[in-house]
Amino acid sequence: MDISTAATANRIAIALIDGFNKHYRLFRQTSREAKFRFESGDWLAVHKAVKDRIRFYDDRVEECVERLRDEFRAEALDDATWQQVKLLYIGLLLNHKQPELAETFFNSVCCKILHRTYFHNDFIFVRPAISTENIESNPPTYSSYYPGEGGLAETMRQIILDFDWQRDFEDLERDVDYLYRTIRTHLGGELPAREANCQIQVLYSAFYRNKGAYIIGKAINGNQEYPFAIPVLHTPGGKLYLDTILLDAWRISILFSLSRAYFMVDMEVPSGYVQFLRSIMPGKPRSELYTMLGLGKQGKTMFFRDLIYHLRHSEDKFIVAPGIRGLVMLVFTLPSFPYVFKIIKDVFGSSKEVDHATVKYKYQLVKQVDRVGRMADTLEFSYAALPRSRFDPALLEELRQQVPSLLEEDGEDLIIKHLYIERRMTPLNIYLDNAPEEKVEAAVKDYGNAIRELAIANIFPGDMLWKNFGVTRYNRIVFYDYDEIEHMTDMNFRAIPEAPYPELEMSGEPWYSVARNDVFPEEFATFLLGSRPVRQAFLKHHRDLLQPEFWQAAQEQIRQGRVEDFFPYPEELRFSRLYAAGGENA
């Protein structure tokens, strides 16, 4: 390679790392500002920041692509130059604090410039080139506390004060006492004897989401580790209080469910945060943790690597997903892998009045709103290459018939030009068909709760059929079909007007005008309440959802700017319930 080519490759590598560094600087700035938004109680600004951050990555990639095209005519460079760019870029990452994110940024830019439709080992990072183990951070990833003469309660008090929130606590001594009592109860009434290495490790940044800040850490005593998460909230009067402490790893895992909004966390070394979180939740994939930290592109990169690795170590085939076939999406799954793959059909069912662009917009909207634990997050992929031999022949035939415009076949690979991937759940209609009556009631009750919570969060599901909701492994009802969702404030909820004379009620045609966004809640009963157990349970718990008044009241709250609390843990775990005046624990 001549000197001129080497110099060009070096300048391109520097331009790429400059583009990434700008991205992460802006990402970290908005994450750092989450503390100030929390302190000021500016909840509308919280939601706006989450929405705005979604675009950060793509905007920086586009900027970098344009720079490389304008300054270096990057699309015309030969393969040898690009290979040299990659080697020089690796050199720039040796002492970098976010090397795994920078590698993914390199991939994103190169694939846009080179129009690569799938992984090419010579030009992009198929596997990590730089280790993320034990990268030094300033401030450190976590702080360590050693309970002294003041004991556990005093240590917990200091941990909370060290977050330095510029807002008074309502009664910190009371809340620390609640923490201490709850921990003792969880451990059987007494704290274990203190070992020589007894310490409490706490992630340096709080985790901000919606109206809460979460302290995440673990206590270490001998060979035992005890994870915990402490939500910090605002009282109606604007002071801070500790709402509870979560002490079970599986409950903490629910905080990081992809059905909830992403956290804002100020991290110099994100891999350090992921490593710490994995020590608390070893069953949570690293891809999901990166995604929940707001690093969705890194989450997608790691997810796809995990999928390819799984395919190499399994033999089952992709099949059509069980359940009622959708009118908009073709859905398939790999039984040994807990996800479903969704592709927008070329032609929709006749009852659907949406197009491809609208469906994509709706799925993007889901990433920008507060999912309140009731909407499945999706990973969106373009040009995903999967081994054709792993597709069941019946599925392959269905793909060729229903989505031919989104398929390419290249050697042994099937290239899917666009698809969404979600965590697999049991479709609610299938669950209800097979559940005993008491579980039917619990599921229908939670289904109605999901509808209510989505409405308060300004989301109207549109198509509320049971088949569009799933049951998670924790028996929570989650919505996952988005082609008809709308903002609540865009809808017009009406009562069906009385017919001017009785004969009209027998007509198959409405006797009243219906605009596009008109909704008549009375009609929900027609398509939701067919079976007796379902009807009884729904009317017992959610009769008001069949009347426009509930929906109109929810709209009014939204228009007034009211942001509701949504707790990612049971109401009975809140200190206000556990230690209510006169209660058994008080």
Q: What is the Cα 217 distance to its own chain's centre?
A: 21
- Closest by alpha carbon to 546, among 486, 489, 496? 496
DSSP string, 68-88: HHHHH-GGG--HHHHHHHHHH
Phi then psi for residue 312, to 5 deg, are -70, -20
With a CB cutoff of 8 Å and minimum separation 6, the contacts of 389 are 412
Rounded to whole angstroms, the Cα distance separating 398 from 407 reads: 12
Is 171 an annotated catalytic residue? no
d(CA 287, CA 413): 24
Name the pairing type of β-strands 337-344 and 379-387: unpaired
Smallest Cα–Cα separation from 366: which of 275, 460, 446?
Answer: 460
d(CA 496, CA 514): 10
Torsion sign over Cα 92, 305, 131, 280: positive
Consecutive H or E run containing 423: strand 413-423
- The C-alpha atoms of residue 575 and residue 580 are separated, in whole angstroms, by 7
Q: Which amino acid is at 256?
A: F
Catalytic residue among 175, 243, 266, 377: 377
Q: How far apart are CA 586 and CA 577, in angstroms?
A: 9
Burial label for 460, CB within 10 Å (0-12, 13-18, 19+), is buried
Please tell me the distance from the alpha carbon of residue 325 to that of residue 336, in angstroms, as a whole number: 21
The alpha-helical segments, DSSP class H, found in 403-544 are 428-434, 437-456, 524-528, 532-542
139 upstream amide cis, omega within 30 of 0:
yes
| Dihedral sign from CA coordinates of 266, 255, 42, 371 | positive
* CA geometry: angle 237, 241, 243, nearest 5 deg: 120
- SS3 for 435? coil
DSSP per residue, 521-556: GGGHHHHH--SHHHHHHHHHHHGGGGSHHHHHHHHH
Q: What is the 3-state secondary structure (H, E, C) of 128-142?
A: CCCCCCCCCCCCCCE
What's 256-321 look like in SS3? CCCCCCCCECCCCCHHHHHHHHHHHCCCCCHHHHHHHCCCHHHHHHHHHHHHHHHHHCCCCCEEEC
Rounded Cα gap, residues 179 and 157, in angstroms: 10
The amino acid sitting at 181 is R
Among the listed residues 293, 318, 283, the one whose alpha carbon sits nearest the alpha carbon of residue 421 = 318
Active site residues: 377
